[in-house]
Structure 1
Amino acid sequence: MQVSRYRPILYLQYFLLFVDLFLNSFSDLLRFENVILLVIYVIQDVCIVFAVIVVFLLFFNTYIFQAGLVGLLVNKFKNTIIVTFIYFVLCLALHIWGMTLRWEDPNAYIWSSGFIALYVLQRVGAVFYYYFYKRTALRLGDPRFYQDSEWIRREFEKRR
């Protein structure tokens, strides 16, 4: 992929990561109104879904995908796919549980042992998500994925 075409996509991916990081960091400060917190959680979840869509659109744009080596592409990026799915599930669980506990009183103390454990798991999962997603975004900018090369031919021969 040409640098001029890939740069805006990379900036979009960084923007989605930044929005997620910002909302993870400051969403608890905006809990004074349930509707505001709900909108923030929806925005965060939608950003994660958009980030996944962007990665899969980049997958579909590669020469490897177009050559029919989808399995090779999935194997190269399976860690990112798995970590992103786990992080999304953790975010949804945390958001649903937190909103359920806080709905009647937004300023209530909701920090039970289970909620703290889920909160910590989601935050640790966020670190892995940021690492793997950024790594994948940068790796998908490699021109090897967008043109025919010898290593792709070898992989294609292995699959036959």
Structure 2
Amino acid sequence: MSDSTQHSSQSNTKVRLDSRVTQLIEQGVANKHRSIFLIVGDKSRELIVPLLQLLARARSEAHGRPSLLWCYKKDLGFTTHRKKRMKELQKRIRIGLIDPKEGDPWELFISSTNIRYCYYAETHKILGNTFGACVLQDFEALTPNILARTIETVS
């Protein structure tokens, strides 16, 4: 199996995912098992898009695009409000930070994915829901109870 290559969300470089990641996702979907990937670092956000694209491909069209649970402590790092996000995007295009001819994969991902945002302190509210994937931001704030609650909601 060859390595999967996806375009980076921040630049024109490509994010190279190990073929074992693709294999783990495909096996997890086939066996109906949950998979946990810990991604740490400044560029970890760039790996979320290709990982979820792999998951969507592995799940097939029957299941559709996976919904996403995004849990964090305090600061998300970007706005969850679509209108504000579009206004910020237009401002960055005017300034020249983004080329309007090339779509930003991160912005496209955020605007086209069904995402439920949740503070760690409010994870009790998500019990009983089911999501296709989960992002746990701010590892230092993660407790065993929060980890169990959030992972339990992932199909």
Q: Compare CA radii of gyration and give the structure with the larger one.
A: 1
Q: TM-score, structure 1 length as denominator?
A: 0.24
The structure with more helix, counted as a fraction of residues? 1
Q: TM-score, structure 2 length as denominator?
A: 0.25
